[in-house]
Amino acid sequence: MPLPAEFASLEPFSDWILVTERERYAKRLASSMAEMQAFYDAAFPLLEPATTYLEQFPVDSLPDPERNLLLLMMSLVTVSFPVEVWKQARVPDSGAAYLDLVSEPAV
Amino acid sequence: MPHFAKPAEGSWTEHYPELGTAPVDYTDSIDPAYYEAERKAVFRRTWLNVGRVEQVPKTGSYYTKELAVVDTSLIIVRGKDGEIRAFHNMCRHRGNKLVWNDFPGEEVKGTCRQFTCKYHAWRYSLNGELTFIQQEEEFFGVDKSSYGLKSVRCEVWEGFIFVNLDPAAQPLADYLGEFAKGLEGYPFHEMTEVFTYKAEVGSNWKLFIDAFAEFYHAPVLHQKQAVKDEADKLLRVGFEGLHYELHDPHAMISSWGGMSPPKDVNMVKPIERVLRSGLFGPWDRPDIEGLDPLPPALNPARHKAWGTDSFHFYPNFMLLIWAPGWYLTYHYWPTAVDRHLFEANLYFVPAKTAAQRLAHELAAVTFKEYALQDANTLEATQTMLKSRVISEFPLCDQELLLRALHKVTADYVKEYRDAAAR
């Protein structure tokens, strides 16, 4: 799963390149805080450079490496709650509740 | 001393004296007989929103809608004349479900030139006429013109498709009334990037409406979502709506929303600062017509801190319009007295850049974090209500919409029961 050359430092985290929210959320629930923190620490400083870099492409026709970068940053959004707020993978006080994203804008 | 002005009567609730201020009886959320009455009195008689016109973009586009609450399945389809129609999803020959794939209970969508029954290949045009009977000569004078699909009242308001099982129902626009009139012209049609969420919830349908019809809970239940100083301040101050309004049977609450963009970026999380988005949506408004000025029903208090308006179109459709230019819908489809299917849709102007797409993603992810906390309180409430240890509960002035929901439902049920007794 190649990334644009400028973002090659994120390749160790390419298992976070996931197409659907369901996959991203499942990986969040299956990950330890240490794993999510490591991904966040590597990716967060590159979030702003990535959005600036991706400006040059229309979002509905991204080449593969750029699409991978966007998907990776969507996973960063998914783990931002556990890392920045919850200190755990699950939403506190959410118990057995679930909410499936059954249809989402394609990337 | 309220932060925002209340009506001359001293409270929003007393502005509507028919509601009273007494504790509210929640037996209506656990009683199976009451639920059976609601199905007939409410869901068979009111206009139900079943989708948007974007779901049937061209001739022959269709989708099915399973409505357990009224024991039917519907086909919504756009005909050759461009009209959108609704039919019971049932073949006239021997009652087979007409449109479905592998599993009869699952909703399907697609595009076709006609509907053909899987069972004996009877065919129907897009406007419901029976056009073909397999081995027609074997039948005994079946007049095809009398065997079209059974239609259901179907009308469209601002791109929202509604159905009504009552052939004698008043027109949709009359039913939706003043709120709908005051929302006309909002650019719903520009907001076609959709996130659809579904869940099955172990509570009465009214309890989830209750949860989203007040924000009194927000500083408490969701306090861990904000950064610490902000959470403490929110909890200390509590919640007050900017404005409340009822137009029987519908209702609205208008709320402030200082978070989009926040006055001080230190109030929000690091990811929100970079992506310029959060619970109230992207901070940067989309570049479309129709957001300034807004239609008159929005921000009725004309308050500069306005953030979002929630309209509850009775019985089970909520429409939330957010200051930064996007909207959200909730649907609550009962399946039993203590169960319902919850559906939420978030609608944005389609992203042109990755930054916009990520801003939408953050709003959607944040929505889910909040909604999971909301949903999880419901089963807990349902099980305790079922104990009948306590059945009457005091509602505060910020819970006006809940009082209205339970009263309006009681009115519909009473009218139905009285008519049945006559």
Report the mean per-residue pLDDT for chain B.
94
pLDDT at B163 over 60: yes
B154 pLDDT above the threshold of 60: yes
pLDDT interval class at A93 (50, 70, 90): confident
Query: Per-residue confidence at B259, pLDDT binned at 50, 70, 90?
Result: low
Which strands sit side by side in the sheet containing B123-124, from one edge to the other? Answer: B115-116, B123-124, B130-132
Whole-number pLDDT of residue B267: 82
pLDDT score of B313: 98
pLDDT value of position A19: 96
**Cβ count near B84 (within 10 Å):** 18
| CATH code given to domain B17-44+173-421 | 3.90.380.10
> Is B305 near chain A, with CB under 8 Å?
no
Contact of B277 with B360, CB cutoff 8 Å: yes
**pLDDT-based confidence at B262, cuts 50/70/90?**
confident
pLDDT of residue B264: 82
What is the structure's pLDDT at B70? 97
Range B56-168: architecture per CATH: 3-layer Sandwich (2.102)
Report which residue type is found at B144.
K
Query: CB atoms < 10 A from the CB of B223, how many?
Result: 14
Nearest to B195 among A86, A96, A101 (CB): A101
Q: What pTM does this model have?
A: 0.95
Where do the structural domains in chain B lie, given as residue ranges? 17-44+173-421, 56-168
Domain ranges of chain A: 5-86
Residue of B nearest to A40 (CA): B271
State whether residue B373 sits within 8 Å of chain A by CB.
yes
- Looking at beta carbons, which residues of chain A come within 8 Å of B351? 59, 105
- Which of B225, B366, B368 is facing A99, going by the closest CB pair? B368
Residues of A in contact with B355 (CB under 8 A): 51, 54-55
With 90 as the cut, is the pLDDT of residue B325 above it? yes
Above 80 in pLDDT, residue B388? yes
Output b/e per residue, B3-24; b: 16+ Cβ within 10 A: eeebeeeebbbbbbeebeeeeb
Contacts of A99 in chain B (CB under 8 A): 197-199, 342, 344, 368, 371-372, 375
- The rounded distance, in Å, linking the Cα atoms of A60 and A62 is 6
Three-point CA angle B344, B349, B353, nearest 5°? 115
Q: Which residues contact B266 (CB under 8 A, 6 or more apart)?
A: B227
* pLDDT, tens only, B362-382: 999 999 998 988 888 898 899
| Confidence at residue B224, expressed as pLDDT on a 0 to 100 scale | 74
Is residue B1 over pLDDT 60? no
Does the pLDDT of residue B258 top 70, yes or no? no
Per-residue pLDDT reduced to its tens digit, B224-240: 767 777 778 777 778 88
